[in-house]
Amino acid sequence: AQRVTQPEKLLSVFKGAPVELKCNYSYSGSPELFWYVQYSRQRLQLLLRHISRESIKGFTADLNKGETSFHLKKPFAQEEDSAMYYCALKEGGNYKLTFGKGTLLTVNP
């Protein structure tokens, strides 16, 4: 069963528009969720961790346990935000990460 679902494979917005990348999870315990970003041909980079409640590059994400969601949001998208975004769930004491399939965000000028 899918534990992390990113329903949108592709998302295209215009520069300056708000963007929301959806992530839903399935986990019986207390979830620990992350967003990773992968710019073209580069490594996976940690963007956000829900526990830290910080804002990186203008992105925020709030854990909603009632809706089992951890959507990533940014009020004004920039062209340099174009990348692949992965939602990930930490499972177990070994810190194994279970990734969603990813959403390719394209920000058009």
Partner 1 sequence: EPEVTQTPSHQVTQMGQEVILRCVPISNHLYFYWYRQILGQKVEFLVSFYNNEISEKSEIFDDQFSVERPDGSNFTLKIRSTKLEDSAMYFCASRGTDYGYTFGSGTRLTVV
Asked if 86 interacts with partner 1 (CB under 8 A), we say yes
Chosen residue from 49, 63, 68, 106 binding partner 1 by CB under 8 A: 49
Count of beta carbons in the 10 Å neighbourhood of residue 11: 17
Beta bridge partners of 64: 69
Asked if 104 interacts with partner 1 (CB under 8 A), we say no
Alpha carbons 98 and 87: distance in angstroms, whole number:
8
Alpha carbons 9 and 52: distance in angstroms, whole number:
27
Distance in Å, CB of 15 to partner 1, minimum: 27
Residue position matching structure tokens 């692949």: 84
Chosen residue from 27, 32, 68, 104 binding partner 1 by CB under 8 A: 32
Asked if 56 interacts with partner 1 (CB under 8 A), we say no
**Residue ranges in contact with partner 1 by CB under 8 A:** 32, 42-46, 49, 51, 86, 90, 92, 94-102
